[in-house]
Amino acid sequence: MLRLGTRQSPLAMAQAHEARSRLCAAHGWDENAVELVPVRASGDKIVDVPLADIGGKALWTKELDAWLGEGHIDLAVHSMKDVETIRPPELTIAAILPRADVRDVLIGASSIAGIPQGARVGTSAPRRAAQMLSRRPDCEIVMFRGNVALRLAKLAAGEADVTLLAAAGLERLGRTGTGTPLEVEEWLPAPAQGAIGVECRTNDAKTRALVAAIDHAPSHTAIMAERALLAALGGNCHSPIAVLSMLCGDRMTLQSVLYSADGAERVEGSLTFDVGDTGGPARLAGDLLARANTAISVHFGGAQGAVP
């Protein structure tokens, strides 16, 4: 039996069920061949302050990392958006499942332009806050954290007028049809948004081989390119960055926008390169940073991590 570690939130459990189903289908196993092991992450325990102020994205992964490293579980499932860019060498992302919808969903208004003047936008993500203020500087950002149900409850209770959630998360929770998806042409997503990753111990060749059977190569390629861009930028939880990858045959295009925290400044760029060109993301990062003013660059070049 394989032991699959997961956070306890409803969305994390839905992602773990998907990973287990795919793994069992790939190998012709009964689902009881993979035991789900829920772990309560630090990030789920503290919901009233921004993650960037209390340890960043490691709060989503450190308990699972420890259990995996100590052998209490054989593999762990993650939302790749929540995984630090630099991982411990003893752990390896062995599979990326087929990527879901990368878009953000606006809840509480039918469009960005349709948000009432001076509305309160509930989000704890620097990217979403900066993007909104760039488009709607009249809006006020109010801190919103917690799982999907909690954030929707906060919205219903009037703590904000609108909020933003990932379309992939809503879909996995059976909440398709909630809100208005924002097309990527006007609103770029976070790095690795919509992707589920499965991580194993690097030295566990048997488990890595089993998990490789559910790896979706195009999604894996896209996610690793977006993470490579984030790493080259030195992005962290304070970094307002949006990115979109597009695969066409053996060529990839990365499109990215970096913002100042207040959304008043932005720098954008794109680069197309061969899929095997591992230096492509770093070249785009270099171009963006070379053109970024201080209000933007102050949020990059520091400790590397995942960006919400």
Q: Which of 74, 82, 101, 204 is catalytic?
A: 82
Whole-angstrom CA distances from 254 to 9, 98, 234, 298 are 31, 19, 17, 22
3-state helix, strand, coil in the chain (%, to 5): 35, 25, 40
Alpha helices in 57-201 (DSSP H): 58-69, 126-135, 148-156, 167-172
Does the active-site annotation cover 262?
no
Who's near 275: CB < 8 A, 6+ residues apart?
221, 247, 250, 251, 252
CA 68 – CA 215 distance, rounded (Å): 19
Size of the chain, expressed as the number of residues it contains: 308
CA 18 – CA 26 distance, rounded (Å): 12
| Residue matched to tokens 């039996």 | 1
CA 150 – CA 132 distance, rounded (Å): 21
CA 1 – CA 103 distance, rounded (Å): 36
Which are the catalytic amino acids? 82
